[in-house]
Amino acid sequence: MIRITASLFIVLLLATACSTPQTAPVVRFNEQDKANLIVRYYTVDTSYVLKPAVMEGRFLSALRQDAVLDVAKQQPGRELAVIMLIHYGCHTEAEAVMHKWTELLTGLGYQRVVFLSARSDMQVNGLAVVN
């Protein structure tokens, strides 16, 4: 009986360890035109810069994080940077990514860094702001 109870407790802990609290109302982003930099982030090795668009022919170029930062450095205005995040299964993983981007971009002089929960399309306005 103790083994069953302990097993159920461990399963409960694992199931809730990476759950995201749903207490705050969803805030939608609507400042696409004001953004100086918009990045769709997948991994350190794969990101797409939507604004200013970094293209290879007719397609967006997949960039490593250091190349994204090179683009960010070239922007004359540094009021607002937007990072579109793919879905993360674990809140702590998303927190680590957001912390790193915030540190890097504020280090370049960006005043605000906003994180959005990305969808499959490239639309920016209307996406949920990640707290």
- Indicate the number of domains in the chain: 1
Asked if the structure places residue 43 within a domain, the reply is yes
User: Is residue 49 assigned to a domain?
Assistant: yes
CA dihedral 71, 72, 76, 81 (to 10 degrees): 140
Looking at residue 18, its pLDDT comes to 55
Percent of the chain with pLDDT over 70: 82
CB atoms within 10 A of CB 35: 21
Residue 5 belongs to some domain of the structure: no
- Residue 3 resides in a domain: no
Residues 6+ apart with CB under 8 A from 35: 51, 80, 81, 82, 124
Is the predicted pLDDT of residue 105 greater than 50, yes or no?
Answer: yes
Q: What is the mean pLDDT of residues 78-102?
A: 91
> Residue 91: its pLDDT value, please?
81
pLDDT confidence of residue 2: 56
Q: Residue 55: inside a domain, yes or no?
A: yes
Q: H-type helices in the chain, by residue range? A: 2-17, 65-74, 91-107
CA distance 19 to 17: 6
pTM of structure: 0.80
Q: Tell me, rounded to whole angstroms, the distance of Cα 94 from its chain centroid.
A: 7
pLDDT digits (tens, 9 = 90+) for 13-47: 444 455 555 567 899 999 999 999 999 999 999 99
Burial class (CB in 10 A: 0-12, 13-18, 19+), 51: middle
Amino acid 6: pLDDT = 41
Kindly state whether residue 6 falls inside one of the protein's structural domains: no
In a domain, 48, yes or no: yes
What range defines the domain where residue 105 resides? Answer: 26-130
